Structure 1
Amino acid sequence: MADLLIELFSEEIPARMQARAAEDLQKLVTNALVEAGLTYAHASAHATPRRLALALEGLPAETKPVREERKGPRADAPEKALEGFLRSTGLTRDQLEERDDKKGKVLFAVIEKPGRPAAEIVAEALEGAIRNFPWPKSMRWGAGSLRWVRPLQSILCILTDESGATVVPVDIDGIRSGDVTHGHRFMGARDLKVNNFDDYAAKLEANKVLLRAEDRAEKIRHDAEQLAFAQGLEVVEDRGLLAEVAGLVEWPVVLMGEIADDFLGLPPEVLQTSMKEHQKFFSVKNPATGRIERFITVANIEAPDHGATILAGNKKVLFARLSDAKFFWENDLRTPMVQMAEKLENVTFHAQLGSQAQRIARIASLAGLIAPMVGADSALAERAARLAKADLSSEMVYEFPELQGIMGRYYAEEAGEAPEVAAACAGHYAPLGPSDDVPTAPVTMAVSLAEKLDILTGFWAIDEKPTGSKDPYALRRAALGVLRIVLENGLRVRLSGLIDAAQEQLMGQGSGHIDAAARADLLSFFADRLKVHLKGEGIRHDVIAACMAEGEDDFAPLVARARALQGFLGSADGENLLQGWRRAANILAAEEKKDGVEYSLDPIANLAEEGAEKALFAALDAAAPKIEAALKAEDWDGAMTAMAELRAPIDAFFTDVVVNAENQTVRRNRLCLLNRIRAQVAPVADFGALEG
C-alpha cells in the first residue's frame, strides 16, 4: 500500500474560498480515482493562503484486472447493428464469440482490462482536477490556457511506500510536478524536499507554516485571549472573523493595540463593526464597563521589533476609519429621529406596497392593536413602531447596514425616548434565525409581530409568495418569527385575527387585498412552518397532524397538546391504546361499509354481557368527564392520563368479546360501542392521522 501527497502552491488564495477549495480538491481527485478502480483508506485536505494540500492513505500499487462480458446482437444481425456494438466495445468482428442462445447464435464481447499503475491513474486524476477546478473566480496568466484562482507556481505529487517516495509525473502548461514544497514567504526556506505527509507537515511548521486551518485558528484564539487577560480585558468572540483571519496568514502572530481616546465613547458595536469590516481586527472590551478599549490584529510575520511598526501603521489606518465612524455618529445625533423617519417617505419598500414610510404607518397601527394582546401599552407600541426603522436613513447604517436596529436603540436613548421604545428599535427584527433569541418585552413583541405580519400579508396580497427554494423577501423566516414569538412567550392569539387586522391597514392605504383563498393559504403557510419548527424539536409530523384541526390558528395550545401526545404515545399505555383504537376503527369501518349504515347511535349498557363488555361501558363512562374537564382546562397531560385508563378495558374487550355476534341486536350495539371508543378519543387527537 502507498500514500499519496498532493500540494498545489500558488499566490494568495482568498480566505473565503479556501475551505471549499480543499473540499473540492478532495472530491475531484478521490472521485476520479475510485471511478478508475483505485481505492483508498483515508483522505484529508488542507488549505493555507498559498497552498491546497491533499493526503490519501492506503492506495494499492495498481488496480485489479477487470474482465467484462457484453451480450451483443444475433450473429446474423444487420451490419449496422453489428457496427454499433463493435464501436461500443472497441473490438473487431473476429474478436467476438458466438454462443448458443434461445434465439440462435448470439455474439458476445469479452473485454479484459489489465490493472493500471496507481501513478498513472493519479496523474490523470490530478490533471483533470486542476484543469476543471470550480473556483468561483479564476484568472489566466502568461501564455498558457490554465485558469487558477491566482497564478499556480508549483505542484507537489508523490506516492510513498516501503521503498520510499516517488514523484508522480504531471505537466500542466509547463508546471512539472516534483517532491518539493516551500516554506513561509519571508521566514521559511524556499525549497523543502519531502517524503510523506508527516514529513511535509513537520517541515512546513519548522519553516513557519501551520498547515491546518484549525491549528491557526486555535493559535490566534489562544494568544489573543492571553494578551487580553494579561491586561484584565476580554476578546469579543467572533467565530466568523476568526475563521477568516486564519485564512489570511500561514504563521499567525497576534498583536494587541490601543484605540485612541477620541473614539472610546462610540457605541461598542460601531467600533467592533468598523474594525472587523475594514481591517479584520478583533475587538477587546473591558468586562467591567462593556466598552471596547483595544484591538487585536494578526500579522503574518515575526517582526524584529515585536510588531511595534506593524501596530503603529495599523493605528494610523484605524484612526482614519474611526474618525469617519465618529463623524457619522455625531452627525446622526444632530437629526431628530422623527426627521430620520420622515426621510423614508422617499425610499420605496416595494412598487406595489408603497414607501418605507407607508409601511411604518401600517406597522404602527397594527402594533397598537396587538399591544393589549401581549400586555403592552398601545401608545408606546405605536411610538416604538414609528421610530423603529428611522435609523435606516442614518449615515451610520448607510455605511454599516448590519447595524440597523442597533443604532436605532442608541439614537432613541440619546433622544430621551422611553426605554421600551429604544429596546423595540433594536429588538423588533428578532428573531432573525432559528437560533436567535425571541423578544420577550411586551412593546418589542408587539412591534416585532406587527412588522412580520405586515410583510407576510403584503406579499400575499400581491401574490408574491415563496416558491420552491426561492424566498427573496425572507417570508419563511418572518412566519417562523411570528410562531416563535407566540409559542415561546405563551401568547394566546388567533393568527386569523392578526391577519385580518394587517389586511385592514393594507386596504386603508390601497396597497392590496387578501381574499378568502389567499387568507386560507397564508394560514396554511403558517401551519407548514409550524410543522417544520416542531419537527426540528423532535415532534413527529403525524403527531402534529393528529392535533391540528382544519383552520386551527391558536398555536400555543396546539403545540402543548402535540408535546403531551408524543409523550403519551411513547408509553406502553399510549401505544397499546392506539392499537386498540385502530382495531375498533378498522372493524367499524369494515362493517359500516358492508352494511351500508353508520353505527353512530349511543350503545345501550343494558344489552352488554357481564365481564369485559360491561367493564368497558363503565370505563368509558368514568373517563368521559375526566377527558372533558381536562380538555376544558387545557390540561393535555391530564387528558392523556384519563385516556390511559381505557387501555386495559379495551384490550380485555377484544380478548373476551366477539363483536360480530349472531344476535343482530347485540352485534349492532357492540359496533355502536366501538364508535363510542372512536368518538371519545377524537376531541383529544385524531388518532387516524397517526402512523403505525
Structure 2
Amino acid sequence: DEALLEEVAAMVEWPVAVTGRFEERFLQVPQEALISTMKANQKYFHVVDGEGRLLPRFITIANIESRDPDVVREGNERVIRPRLADAEFFWNQDRKQPLDAHVERLATILFQQKLGTLHDKAARVEHLATWIAARIGGDETWARRAAWLAKCDLMTEMVYEFPELQGIMGRYYAAADGEPEEVSRAMEEQYLPRFAGDRLPGTRTGQALAVADKLDTVCGLFAIGQPPTGSKDPFALRRNALGALRILIEGGLDIDLESLLEEARQALGERVETDDLTGQVFDFMMERLRAWYHDQGVAPDSFEAVLARRPTRPLDFHHRLLAVSHFRSLPEAEALAAANKRIANILRQAREKGIDFPERVETARLESEPERDLAEAVERLEQEVGPLAEAGEYEPALGRLASLREVVDRFFDQVMVMVDDPPLRGNRLALLARLQALFLRVADISRLQA
C-alpha cells in the first residue's frame, strides 16, 4: 500500500518494523474489513500469503529501536484486538437480517433533492439495468435483483463505519444470503472502474448494473441543469461517463448509446427540466471519449474523422477509429485524404450555389477515360465495401478504398468537374458524391491532416 507507506514514512524518524499477531478467529470476518481497520485506525501493514489471503499477522513501524521489542509487540497486539472485535461485531450484527431487508429504508436516504431518494434511484437503475441486460446476453432477473440490492449495504453498520467498503461488503452479505454468485459479484462491480486504469466488471449483471448506475447519475444531474463546470464535479459525472464508455467498449458490449440515454431520460420522468437531455449527455460523453483516446495517443484528427459520422454505438466508434488509425499508416492515405477534402469542398460549393445533381451516375455521359475508370472503380468497390462496412469490418473496407488512389489522382489531373455544360457537370458531381459516400461508410477522412 503505497499511500500508507508514504504516510507512515512521514510519521517516523527512526523506523523500526515490529511484527505482531492477532487471533485466527478474526479471519472469519471479510479480510477487507480487517485490513481497513488496521490501516485506518492503527496504520498497520497487513500480511498475506502467496495467494493473497490475509494471515493473522501485522507489521507496525516504531519510531525507536526498543531495548525490549516484545513489550512493543504485546502493546500493539493489545491495541488492535478491540478494533478487530468491533469489525467482527459489525459483521455478525449485519448478518442477522438479509440484505434485502434494507430496501425500504433506502427511501429514507436522499440521493439528490430534485432526483429523490436512493429508493427512487434504485427503481430507475432497475429499469436501465434490465434494459441493458436484455441486450448484452445477461439475465434480466438477476439484473433486476442486483439493482434493488445495490445500495442496501449503505444501511449496514460495517459500511457506516468503513464507507470505503461499500459494494465490497454488499458482495459478502449477498453471498451470505444465498444470492446467485453473479448478483453478489455485481454488488462490488457496480462501482468499477473506481479510477483511471482500474479493472472493469467481469459479469454481465455487473456490467449492466455499473452502466445503469453511472448513466442514471449523469443523466439525472444534466436533467436538473447541474452538469459539471470547470473543476466542480461533486457527483463525479466525468468519471462516471468515462467509466460507462470503457465498460461498453472494453467489455465488447454493442449497445446504442443514444437509445440507452433515451431510456434513462424516460426513467427520470417529470424530473427532467432540460431540453434535449439525450443530445446534451451524448455530446458530453463524446468529449470524455475524446480525452480518453487522446491520453492513449490517438491523433485528434482521427477522432474527428470518426466523430463527424456520429456513430451512436461506442463499440462501433472504437472499431472505426482503429480502422482510421491503421489507414493513416498506408502510403495512399495522405493523397486520398487530400482528395476527399477537395471533393468535400466541390460538393459544398455546388450546394451553396444551388447546383442540383442526380443521385445516379449516367454511364452515357462519361466522356473521358479517367472518369469512366473512376466510375467503374466506384461501382466495383460499392459491391465490396458495402458488406464490409455493414459487418463492421472497417479496416479491410478502408484497405479496399486505398486502391482508389491512382484512379482518383488521374481523374483530378485530367477532368474538369465544374464545366459549363449542366448535365455533364451534374453527372461528374454525382460521381464525386458516390465516391465520397464510399469513404463516409467508415469515417470522414477529409478531416485527416497531412
Q: TM-score, normalised by structure 1?
A: 0.61
Tell me which residue corresponds to 1:465. Answer: 227
Opposite residue 292 of structure 1, the aligned amino acid is L
Deviation at 1:662, TM superposition (A): 8.4
Confirm or deny: 8 A CA contact 2:322 2:395 kept in the other structure. no
Tell me which residue corresponds to 2:120. Answer: 358
Q: Does 1:612 align with 2:370?
A: yes
Opposite residue 578 of structure 1, the aligned amino acid is A
Unpaired stretches in structure 2, ≥5 consecutive residues: none
Show CA shifts across 1:373-402 (max 9, x none): 122211111112211211101111111100
Opposite residue 330 of structure 1, the aligned amino acid is N
Deviation at 1:672, TM superposition (A): 4.4
* Deviation larger for 576-585 or 436-445: 576-585
The change in CA–CA distance for 1:258 and 1:638 in structure 2 (over 3 A counts) is same
Distance (whole Å) between structure 2 residues aligned to residue 360 and residue 592 of structure 1:
51
Show CA shifts across 1:520-547 (max 9, x none): 2122112222222222222233322322
Deviation at 1:603, TM superposition (A): 4.1
Larger Rg, first or second structure (1 or 2): 1
Deviation at 1:409, TM superposition (A): 0.9
Distance (whole Å) between structure 2 residues aligned to residue 388 and residue 626 of structure 1:
48
Residue from 321, 325, 347 that aligns with 1:566: 325
Tell me which residue corresponds to 2:95. Answer: 333
Q: Does 1:526 align with 2:292?
A: no
Residue from 239, 257, 276 that aligns with 2:39: 276
Distance (whole Å) between structure 2 residues aligned to residue 399 and residue 254 of structure 1:
28
Opposite residue 412 of structure 1, the aligned amino acid is A
Alignment of 1:246-645 (within 5 A): 246-288=9-51, 290-305=53-68, 307-507=69-269, 512-513=271-272, 516-548=275-307, 552-587=311-346, 597-600=355-358, 602-608=360-366, 611-645=369-403
Aligned residue for 2:213, secondary structure, equals: helix
Opposite residue 395 of structure 2, the aligned amino acid is D
Between Structure 1 and Structure 2, the one with more strand by share is 1
Distance (whole Å) between structure 1 residues aligned to residue 292 and residue 190 of structure 2:
21
The change in CA–CA distance for 1:366 and 1:659 in structure 2 (over 3 A counts) is closer
Deviation at 1:250, TM superposition (A): 2.4
Distance (whole Å) between structure 2 residues aligned to residue 592 and residue 376 of structure 1:
48
Alignment of 1:237-248 (within 5 A): 238-248=1-11
Q: Does 1:678 align with 2:402?
A: no
Confirm or deny: 8 A CA contact 2:46 2:54 kept in the other structure. no
Aligned residue for 1:372, secondary structure, equals: helix
Confirm or deny: 8 A CA contact 2:371 2:415 kept in the other structure. yes
Distance (whole Å) between structure 1 residues aligned to residue 416 and residue 217 of structure 2:
59
Opposite residue 597 of structure 1, the aligned amino acid is I
Tell me which residue corresponds to 1:649. Answer: 407
Deviation at 1:293, TM superposition (A): 2.0
Show CA shifts across 1:409-459 (max 9, x none): 111111222111110111111112221111130111121122112212222
Confirm or deny: 8 A CA contact 1:623 1:645 kept in the other structure. no
Opposite residue 562 of structure 1, the aligned amino acid is L
The change in CA–CA distance for 1:266 and 1:379 in structure 2 (over 3 A counts) is same
Deviation at 1:564, TM superposition (A): 0.4
Aligned residue for 1:622, secondary structure, equals: helix
Deviation at 1:563, TM superposition (A): 1.4
Deviation at 1:627, TM superposition (A): 1.6
The change in CA–CA distance for 1:677 and 1:497 in structure 2 (over 3 A counts) is closer
Q: Over the residues paired in the alignment, what is the CA RMSD in angstroms?
A: 2.5
Show CA shifts across 1:627-651 (max 9, x none): 2121111110121012111111112
The change in CA–CA distance for 1:577 and 1:284 in structure 2 (over 3 A counts) is same
Aligned residue for 1:572, secondary structure, equals: coil
Confirm or deny: 8 A CA contact 1:388 1:405 kept in the other structure. yes
Show CA shifts across 1:75-102 (max 9, x none): xxxxxxxxxxxxxxxxxxxxxxxxxxxx
Distance (whole Å) between structure 2 residues aligned to residue 401 and residue 281 of structure 1:
19
Opposite residue 383 of structure 2, the aligned amino acid is P
Distance (whole Å) between structure 2 residues aligned to residue 589 and residue 433 of structure 1:
44
Show CA shifts across 1:616-668 (max 9, x none): 22222221211212111111012101211111111233344455678887666
Distance (whole Å) between structure 1 residues aligned to residue 418 and residue 25 of structure 2:
91
Distance (whole Å) between structure 1 residues aligned to residue 374 and residue 341 of structure 2:
16
Distance (whole Å) between structure 2 residues aligned to residue 589 and residue 385 of structure 1:
50
Show CA shifts across 1:473-496 (max 9, x none): 111111112111111121122223
Confirm or deny: 8 A CA contact 2:337 2:447 kept in the other structure. no
Aligned residue for 2:332, secondary structure, equals: helix
Deviation at 1:310, TM superposition (A): 1.7
Opposite residue 253 of structure 1, the aligned amino acid is V
Deviation at 1:472, TM superposition (A): 0.7
Confirm or deny: 8 A CA contact 1:539 1:563 kept in the other structure. no
Deviation at 1:241, TM superposition (A): 0.9
Deviation at 1:550, TM superposition (A): 6.7
Confirm or deny: 8 A CA contact 2:110 2:116 kept in the other structure. yes
Deviation at 1:269, TM superposition (A): 0.5
Confirm or deny: 8 A CA contact 1:374 1:445 kept in the other structure. no
Deviation at 1:552, TM superposition (A): 4.0
The change in CA–CA distance for 1:586 and 1:354 in structure 2 (over 3 A counts) is closer
The change in CA–CA distance for 1:506 and 1:673 in structure 2 (over 3 A counts) is closer
Aligned residue for 2:133, secondary structure, equals: helix
Distance (whole Å) between structure 2 residues aligned to residue 280 and residue 529 of structure 1:
37
* Deviation larger for 328-337 or 513-522: 513-522
Distance (whole Å) between structure 1 residues aligned to residue 419 and residue 266 of structure 2:
61
The change in CA–CA distance for 1:614 and 1:499 in structure 2 (over 3 A counts) is closer
The change in CA–CA distance for 1:587 and 1:344 in structure 2 (over 3 A counts) is closer
Over the matched positions of the two proteins, sequence identity in percent amounts to: 38
Confirm or deny: 8 A CA contact 1:523 1:551 kept in the other structure. no
Question: Relative contact order: is structure 1 or structure 2 higher (C-alpha 8 Å, sep ≥ 6)?
Answer: 2
Distance (whole Å) between structure 2 residues aligned to residue 331 and residue 472 of structure 1:
33
Between Structure 1 and Structure 2, the one with more helix by share is 2
Opposite residue 75 of structure 2, the aligned amino acid is G
The change in CA–CA distance for 1:248 and 1:608 in structure 2 (over 3 A counts) is same
Alignment of 1:37-48 (within 5 A): none
Deviation at 1:406, TM superposition (A): 0.6
Opposite residue 406 of structure 2, the aligned amino acid is A
Tell me which residue corresponds to 1:160. Answer: none
Confirm or deny: 8 A CA contact 2:340 2:436 kept in the other structure. yes
Opposite residue 522 of structure 1, the aligned amino acid is V
- How many aligned positions are there? 450
